[in-house]
Chain A
């Protein structure tokens, strides 16, 4: 089989000369692909759900303004979007806030964890305390690198001071909850589907080209290029390489078979 073609037509996220971020309407390797353009082929119920996800206004009801500022900054680091143009960023906080406000839980709580709501409240406070202790500023005012360093310490289950900020929370489980909430918000969005080349809703029309990664007539072939994360980030290298040790994460949660 032919080797991967690396295209240079699209630019990396950072300008190789001055390192300034270059923003695209649609990052990823599927230029010109749009799941939304296919919405006439979706069934009515699905179309309604997806479009509402894109348009509905979500006032922040669960988090206080201060908590919201912190959490928005945290979520922006868990799934950063500086490579997207401002109009094409996917809101992460509102779906989370909505979920917590309406108590839409995943159907369980770990015995060593408080409720999702309590966990997030405490976490918002803890992030702020970590920022103040380490840098003397609010979390959302920190530089990207500073924020990442703090989050990195949490990911490694060794959060920086103060000691008792995370008391009562199993950090490994909270981390999983946090990342999974971000993923649920980001990858539920048609723009994210376009980015990763996922076909989106498929009923009544299904798929015909099942094998060898062939695109459907309305899908787009992958056009690879050398995608690069911004230079000033800790998170583009695998965790094990960052910390030099293997982080044992907890068992996964989604149903598969």
Chain B
């Protein structure tokens, strides 16, 4: 017997007081069997709206000085619509939403390339790595922008809520077992067995988002001590996610704790950022300008989103192999 109490999602759910227990059980059950395509589609829709707004104002700040800067904004609109469609239609989820997500993901990668080049073209280029990283195009932003597209890809391979059968024997799972299709990553997603996969993504996302937090707070001279918090949480969450690759126990313990902290941190951070905007000269009398150049309002949310990915990983089943 392990000296630790069982901290798997199923066990934790049992700790929830009765009136709330059953909905929680249902949620966990759906997640563990990959039958949450519609909820995921809705999530894709809302996150791409938010990230569309974010690149919108970031690229406005960059004056759209290259027409390609419009693409992420257009694509996030498309993806939001596709997510909406995916909520209503299985077909849409497996076609439009999937394609839109892949294209957006590719756009994020291209954007990453452009941002690296943008830094190279600043005076001093990469020979002034810190200065130009801080003052140049935010290098990780295009990758983070890809988060909602990534969720879209995942969603497009999931099963729908209505596919959920009795006690984990979902219709498709039964079908798979009988057809003996070669289980690849898509199959893993379909049946809700992609914990390790999500852990990898969580780790990458956390490093990127934490990296942004580090250099933007560095730009601000770490004026408040609390600005260190996302920077300190980054290795914890990323470490937990990577550790979870090897250890199921880590996935059931440190991972959810670190993820919860990151989500909390993101919420608190958003509050601080809003306060920061209001405290700028002109405050609420210059709402647009101060949002543009005040603390980035969506950035802490992105960090929280990484926490959310980690939390999802925790709730997920591990890959079979």
Name A's B-contacting residues (CB within 8 A).
41, 203-206, 208-209, 212, 214-215, 217
Closest to B215 in A: A208
Contact of A214 among B123, B124, B130, B223 (CB under 8 A): B223
A215 touches B123 (CB 8 A): no
Q: Are the CB atoms of A209 and B220 closer together than 8 Å?
A: yes
Beyond A208-B135, A214-B223, 6 additional contacts (C-beta under 8 Å) are A205-B131, A206-B131, A206-B135, A208-B131, A208-B134, A217-B218
Q: Are B131 and A215 in contact (CB under 8 A)?
A: no
Instruction: Assess whether A215 is in contact with B221, with CB atoms less than 8 Å apart.
Output: yes
Q: Which chain B residues in 186-244 approach chain A with CB under 8 Å?
A: 218-221, 223
Q: What CA separation (Å) do A212 and B281 show in the bound complex?
A: 10
- Chain B min CB distance to A38 (Å): 12
The minimal Cβ–Cβ distance linking B213 to chain A, given in whole angstroms, is 16
**Cβ 8 A contact of B124, one of A205, A209, A215:** A205
Select which of B123, B128, B130, B221 is within 8 A of A209 by beta carbon: B221
Chain B residues lying within 8 Å of A203, measured Cβ to Cβ, are 123
Q: How far is the CB of A203 from chain B (nearest CB, A)?
A: 6
Q: Give Cα A204 to B126, complex, Å.
A: 11
List of A residues within 8 angstroms of B220 by Cβ? 209, 214
Nearest residue in B to A203 (C-beta to C-beta)? Answer: B123
Question: What number of A-B contacts does a CB cutoff of 8 Å give?
Answer: 27
- B135 to nearest A CB, angstroms? 5
Which residues of the partner chain A approach B219 to less than 8 Å between Cβ atoms? 208-209
In the complex, A22 Cα to B305 Cα: how many Å?
59
Sorted nearest first, the 4 A-B pairs with minimum C-beta distance are: A204-B123, A204-B124, A214-B221, A208-B134
Q: Complex formed: what's the CA distance from A217 to B129 in Å? A: 13
Contacting residues of chain B (102-134) with chain A, CB-CB under 8 angstroms:
123-124, 128, 130-131, 134
- Please name all residues of chain B whose beta carbon is closer than 8 Å to the beta carbon of A41 when the two chains form the complex: 124, 128
Q: Which of B59-99 contact A (CB under 8 A)?
A: none
Contact partners of A209 in chain B: CB under 8 A: 219-221
B291 to chain A, nearest CB (A): 16
7 contacts between A and B (CB under 8 A): A204-B124, A205-B128, A208-B134, A209-B219, A209-B221, A214-B220, A214-B223
CB of A178, distance to nearest CB on chain B (Å) = 38
Q: How far is the CB of A14 from chain B (nearest CB, A)?
A: 35
Closest chain B residue to A43, Cβ basis: B123
List of B residues within 8 angstroms of A215 by Cβ: 221
Cβ-defined contact, A204 with B128, below 8 A? yes
Which residues from B are CB-within-8-Å of A212?
223
Chain B residues in 8 Å Cβ range of A206: 123, 131, 135
**How far apart sit A214 and B124, CA to CA, in the bound complex (Å)?**
23
Query: Which of A203, A208, A214, A215 has its CB near the most chain B CB atoms (within 10 A)?
Result: A208
Residues of B within 8 A of A217 (CB): 130, 218
A230 to B128, CA, bound (A): 44
CA–CA, A214 and B220, complex, Å: 8
**Residues of A contacting B128 with CB < 8 Å?**
41, 204-205
Expressed in whole angstroms, the Cα–Cα distance for A215 and B223 within the complex equals 11
| Chain B residues with CB below 8 A from A214, complex form | 220-221, 223
Q: In the complex, what residue of chain A is closest to B219 when comparing beta carbons?
A: A208
In the assembled complex, the Cα of A41 lies from the Cα of B123 at a distance in Å of 11
Task: Please indicate the chain A residues that have their CB under 8 angstroms from the CB of B223 in the complex.
Answer: 212, 214
B221: chain A residues at CB < 8 Å are 209, 214-215
Closest chain B residue, CB of each to CB of A221: B221
> A69 vs B121: C-alpha distance in the bound complex, in angstroms?
53
Q: Which residue of B lies closest to A215 (CB)?
A: B221
* Distance between Cα atoms of A41 and B130 in the complex (Å): 13
Residue of A nearest to B125 (CB): A204
Distance in angstroms from B208 CB to nearest chain A CB is 20
CB distance from A186 to the nearest CB of B (A): 29
Rounded to whole angstroms, the CA-CA distance of A168 and B246 in the bound complex is 91
